[in-house]
Every structure is written in C-alpha cells, then in structure tokens.
Structure 1
Amino acid sequence: MLAAPLRLGSRSAVKTPVASAKRNVHDIMISRTGKPIIRQGGGGRSSLSGHTATVFGATGFLGRYIVSKLAKQGTTVVIPWRDEDAKRHLKVSGDLGQVVMHEFDLRNTESIESAVRHSDIVYNLIGRDWETKNFKFHDVHIDGAARIAESCAKYDVDRLVHVSALNADEHSPSEFYRTKAQAENIVRGVFPEATIVRPSTMYGAEDRFLNVLASKTTHFSSNSQKAIVRPTHVADVAEALEYMMHNDWTAAQTFELYGKEELSVAEVAEMVRRVTLKKHRNYNIPSPIMKQICKVLELAWWPIYSPDQVAREFINDTPTQGAKTFADLGITPAEFEHTSLTYLRSYRSNLYFDQPMDASELGKFRKGEVHVVD
C-alpha cells in the first residue's frame, strides 16, 4: 500500500495526513489538471478514462443520467446504494467492472468513507422532496452532506460536486430550501473547493413535474398554479456535471442551472392539456387548510403531498444575479416546449396517440386548434 503522493494544490500540503487514509497505486493520478496518468483506449464504453467517480444518490432521478454519461466514457463509477432493487438498472450503464456497487448507510460514516476513498471526484445528489419518519430534511440535506464532505476531506478527494437547489435560502419559508442552503455553507466550510450546483425544476422521463401534471386530470393547489418555474432538462444538468469532472476551473464555484423559458405552473399545465388532449382541472384550496390536509395525508405509507410542498407553491424559481449558468459551461439548454413533447405523448389516449407530435404542431396546441377529449 502506498500513501497518496503530495500534489500541487492538494490539501495534504497544508494539513497532517491521516494515518488510516491509505491509497493504492491505481489511485495515483493528476486529476486536478484533468489528465490522469493511467489511461487506456481511445475513449468510449470499453476504454479506461483513469477517473473514478462516486455518485451518491445515483438511484434517483438525476443520478441515472450522470452515471450513464460517466460510465460510457470509461470512468469507473462507484454507486453507494440502500435498496437492492433500486440500483439494478445502473449495472449495465458501463462495461464489465466499470460500475461498482457499494452498500452504504447515510448515518454510517465508515460506509461513506469506504465509498469515497478510491475516488478522485464525488457527486452528492442525495436529497428528499418530503420527510419520512426515518429521514427528516435535516438528516438528509445537512447531516448527510456534512458526513460526505468530511469523508472527502479526510481522504483528500480531489473534487466534490454538491447538488443543491435553485431558491436555496436560509430564510426561506420552506424547510426544504432552508436546509439546502445550510448544507451549502457546511459543505463549503469543510471542503472549500466544493462545486455547488443549483438546478431548477427538472423534467425528464421519470420526473415528478410533468408526470404529475399529465397523469392526473384533477389537481389541487393553494396558489392557483401561479408559481413561476424555469424548467431544465435533466440531461442538460447531467452534461454539466460531467463537464465539471474534466474542467478543474469549476472547483469552488457555484452554478445555477435553469432553462430559457419562464413559465407559470398554470401555463405548463395548459400545455400538458393540449398535448395530451385531455381535460385537466385545478381546484384551489387555501394554504392553511391545504397544510392541515397534507398533515393527515402524511400518515399514509407512501408519499402523496406534504405541508412543505404547499409552502414551495408560493416560491418562484429566481436565479441569483451574476451567478454562473449553463452559458459559462458552453451548454445550450434544451427548449422546454419542444423537448417535453417526448415525455407527454405517452399520456395520450390510444385514439390520438399516432397524431404527429413534432415541433411544427406546437403552434396549433398554443392556439387551441386541436380538439381536446372531454
């Protein structure tokens, strides 16, 4: 076993090495320049990029996209998991041996350290939209993020990318956004070189945005769906995360990733209605009453709607002035109205499923020239 070599710019140069933080010869690389020493192949699934990445939250919505992007270029991807069934589909994202499964517990520091000790970049995508009896927002967003950051610092991991959320604010009326902001400060305090990423409302095949609006014809809200969102395609966010692995100038930076369009939820719901050719109705319930209803719904053993989600209905997607965006990464985000058609078509009735859904039809949907099923 060899101790990690002293690298230019490494935190090992300014702190006492931990005796137990041993690394193997295959861990020695110059990833701060984006050029690993050990590399094989011309790039692609069967190559060896020389990078090892740990992706916490890989079994979630965004996780499967970044795992796919990393593994298909020959990166060894370590996937910490809790549920045996939730991680099976990720095994085929890369070539044989490229995707390494590692069982862990967010409350067990030793299991987290074991997952990051051989990696040169760690992605923390872990987050919750609602609380459960076992994991509160504080447990996941703050305590979990702190343990991951401390483990990365202990083993001198080169890069840490922490995914937060747009609208993260310590003074937010939503505990979700408050804990996200607090986690950012803690991560930066432990690991100053961490890259903070704040995506806006994401959409894609497995999202909880378009699928919720399209799967039900009756909706209840407290803000008459007036909240302003700036939807961003999940594949664009994954591309941005992949870019950060190869470009070290992104270290210690904060990026806010959001789409071009600025729409109200009601406008998105109207677009969904016209694309799916179904009637969608929304009933407005005052916030105090809605929160009490949600407290009762929380007694169910599956997530329905939480009081904190009611609070988030009144918060608009608001970018921070002067923050780095997709443009700084050289990425042009997909157009929401065109890309979303792919995910909404499956909600059409079989009677209308075969009708054209290309971009040229979008104008008709806007004007209401397409018949809607009653």
Structure 2
Amino acid sequence: MSKLVTIYGGSGFVGRYIVQRMAQAGWRVRVAVRRPNEALFVKTYGAVGQVEPVLCNIRDSDSVRRALQGSDVAVNCVGILNEIGRNTFGLVQYHGARHIAEACAEMGISRLVQISAIGADPKSKSVYAETKGRAEEVVRAHCPDAVILRPSVVFGPEDQFFNRFAAQARFTPVLPVVGGATRFQPVYVDDVARAAAMAALGQAKPGIYELGGPETRPFADLIEEMLDVIRRPGVLVLNLPFFVGSAMGTFFDLVQSMTGGLFTNTMITRDQVRNLARDNVVSPGAMGFAELGIEPVSVGAVLPEYLWRFRPGGQYSDIRESAKNLKVQK
C-alpha cells in the first residue's frame, strides 16, 4: 500500500499545491481542514480515493491526533494573516503547530514539514512573526529532524497579494501602500510546494530553509509592475508613512472588533504594519532553493497568466489593442 501524508490546511493557497505534488508522487493524501465539504475540490488532484479531506480543528489536540493516525509524514500549512474570533495567532500558529509536533513525536513520525515565514522570530514585535517563531521552536523541540520552510511573500493564481491590489486598482486612481521601500523577494507558490514535497519525500536534509524568488524588489516597485501587467498605468502608487498605516490599521481593527467580526479587516492591520517595517528577504548564508536544486520562477513570468482578468478589457484586452492597429479599408 502506498504511503500516507497528512497535510494540515491542505485546501489553502499553498497547501493545495503541496497536495497536488504529493498525489503526483503516488502518495495517499489526507487533507485535514475545518470544513471538509468546502475542500472537496482536492479530491480531483489524484485518482479515485487517493486524496481525501477530513475534519480537523488544529486548535484541538485530539482532533489533530485523529487526523494523523496511520500517517507516515505530516505537513503543516496552517496560518492566518488576521485574527478573527477564536482564530488567534497564538491558538492557530503556535498551539496548532505544537499539537502537530507533539502528535508526531508520540506516534513516532519523524518527518514533519512546517511552513513558516521569513521574519519568524519569537522576539518579534509582530504577533504574526512572534508566533511563527515560537512554532518553529516547539516543532524542532519535538521533531529534531523536521524541515522548516520560510517563504517570502508567496504569489500565484489564488494569492492575497497581487490579486488584492489588482482588484483595488480597478476602482481607484490612487493605490496607497504602506512600506513602499520595504524589500520583498516574492516566491512562486508551486516552487514552495516543490520544496515542501521534497522535504516530505525525505529529499531534503533537516533544518530551516528560507525561500525567496530570483528578484529582490521594493514593495512599491512590485505594485508598479502589477499595474503594468493589468494595463492601468494611470493609477498612482502612493507610499504612506508608517504612522499613517498604523493609524489606519488601528481603525480597521477597531471596526472589526466592534462589529463582532461582521466586518473583516482585509485592508491592513496594526500587526501587518509592524511586519512591513522590516525587509522580507532571504538572510545571507541561509539554506534555500539552491540547496534543494530548485530554480525559482520570477514574478514577471507568472503574473500575466492570472492577472489578465483585471485589465480594462479582461481576456479580450490583447484583441482590442491589436484591433487599434488595423487600417480601415475603404
């Protein structure tokens, strides 16, 4: 019988690509998620019965253990960008990782892949980065042979980065950004999935890998390229000072809190502003794609493949522009 991998958060942005990679490698894949009925699409990633979503609440240790029963490998892709209700950074990113690591240790599963993030630091002022850092510590304490992957900002068809700003650019002449000079090293989602699959298959030595794409660019520069791809050169990128961003984050966080979550802060949070204050790039000397033999894909090679729908003419944008060059025959 083929081996089994349990992927926590396997229906999410990064997780679904790891699911596809593991299914292609011939493994049985158990996708542990809070809402299995909303993750049924992952079943199409493999043969009949090869990929199965199961119920799991990562905040509950018993639920985590049930999802892990009979597995050979575990992958944790669960993470949040904003705290909503009981889904806090501490409960999801730290305690969730702890539950998985403890379960792996108890069941004798030595191979654990933890998806973290560049900037993870237990001493960080950002709660997001602090809980990611503490999660790494607890994972390595219980599973010394674990592989921890720290990607920079991840992009791809389902991302919440370029898609979000491209959607905003359709309705406004000015696109405000906080931390426009902060440097990023965007990494393609399937490159992260390749690295995770290699780790799950035992093709990567234990340790921490920082994953960044081939280009290091300022935040504002990336947004300018996005605007060029969606052909909206008239939109102005406005770099806001951090104190303005912090005020905005405080306001939106307060509105979310006062409405009991009816309004979800998808704009910017105070914690995100803290993260934007530091560069999000691979550290000098860190293990990364080179050690895995992976050549990462550039932003420019992928953005046009999924951002075309934000162009003024959508899928017909190229046809319309070509038509302008036709001479009218009399």
TM-score tier (shorter): 0.7 to 0.9
Deviates more, 1:124-133 or 1:340-349: 340-349
* % identity of equivalent residues: 29
CA distance in 2, matches of 1:126, 1:291: 23
- Which residue of structure 2 aligns with residue 333 of structure 1? 296
Q: Which has the higher helix share?
A: 2
Deviations 1:143-173 (A, max 9, x none): 1110110001111113100111011122322
Q: Secondary structure at the match of 2:225?
A: helix
Mapped to 1, the partners of 2:314 and 2:63 lie a distance apart of 52
Report the secondary structure of 1:273's partner residue: helix
Question: In the alignment, is residue 194 of structure 1 matched against residue 150 of structure 2?
Answer: no
Shift of residue 101 of structure 1? 2.3
Alignment check: 8 A CA contact 1:326 1:333 kept: yes
Instruction: Give the superposition deviation at 1:112.
Output: 1.1
C-alpha separation between the residues in 2 aligned to 1:351 and 1:292?
35
Q: How far apart, CA to CA, are the structure 1 residues paired with 2:256 and 2:225? A: 30
Match of 1:312 among 254, 260, 275: 275
**Aligned residue number for residue 55 of structure 2:** 103
Moved more, 310-319 or 274-283: 274-283
1:129 and 1:270 map into 2 onto residues whose CA distance is: 23
**What is the CA–CA distance in structure 2 between the aligned matches of 1:175 and 1:124, rounded to whole Å?**
19
**Partner of residue 177, structure 1:** 129
In structure 2, the residue matched to 1:143 is 95
1:53 is aligned to 2:9: no
Calculate the aligned-residue CA RMSD, in Å. 1.8
Q: Is 2:222 the partner of 1:268?
A: yes
Compute the TM-score of the two structures, normalised by the length of structure 1: 0.77
Match of 1:228 in 2: 183
Unaligned runs of 5+ in 1: 1-37, 39-49, 357-374
After TM superposition, the structure 1 stretch with the greater mean CA deviation from structure 2, 284-293 or 309-318, is: 284-293
Give the 3 Å change call, closer, same or farther, for CA 148–344 of structure 1 in structure 2: same
* Secondary structure, aligned partner of 2:138: helix
Kept in 2, the 8 Å contact 1:80–1:101? The answer is yes
CA displacement, residues 173-217 of structure 1 (integer Å, 9 cap, x when unaligned) = 211111111110111111111111101100000001110121112
Which letter maps to 1:72?
Answer: Q
Alpha-carbon separation, structure 2, partners of 1:321 and 1:272: 28
Alignment of 1:246-261 (within 5 A): 246-250=201-205, 252-261=206-215
- Please state whether the residue corresponding to 1:318 is helix, strand or coil: coil
Q: For 2:195, which of 234, 240, 246 is the aligned residue? A: 240
Alignment of 1:1-374 (within 5 A): 38=1, 50-217=2-169, 218-223=174-179, 225-250=180-205, 252-278=206-232, 279-283=234-238, 284=240, 286-299=244-257, 300-301=261-262, 302-304=264-266, 305-350=268-313, 353-355=316-318
What is the Cα deviation at residue 280 of structure 1? 2.5
Inter-CA distance 273–152: structure 2 relative to 1 (3 Å threshold): same
Larger Cα Rg: Structure 1 or Structure 2? 1
Q: Provide the C-alpha distance between the structure 2 equivalents of 1:339 and 1:282, rounded to a whole number of angstroms.
A: 22
Q: Which sections of structure 2, spanning at least 5 residues, go unmatched?
A: 320-330
| Structure with greater contact order relative to length (CA < 8 Å, sep ≥ 6) | 2
Preserved contact between residue 36 and residue 54 of structure 2 (Cα < 8 Å): no
**Aligned length in residues:** 306
The answer as to whether partners of 1:80 and 1:102 remain within 8 angstroms in 2 is yes
Q: Which runs of 4+ in 1 moved over 6 A?
A: none
Change in Cα spacing, 1:258 to 1:96, as seen in structure 2 (3 Å) is same
Per-residue displacement from partner, 1:338-370 (whole Å, max 9, x unpaired)? Answer: 2222122121112784428xxxxxxxxxxxxxx
Structure 1 residue matching 2:13: 3-state secondary structure: coil
Deviations 1:91-148 (A, max 9, x none): 1111111112221122322221121121111000111111112111111111111011
Alpha-carbon distance in structure 1 between the residues aligned to 2:18 and 2:315:
34
CA contact (8 A) 1:51 1:76 kept: yes
Q: 1:248 to 1:330 in 2, by over 3 A?
A: closer
Alpha-carbon spacing, 1:269–1:353, altered in 2? closer, same or farther (3 Å)? farther
Is the Cα contact below 8 Å between 2:112 and 2:200 reproduced in 1?
no
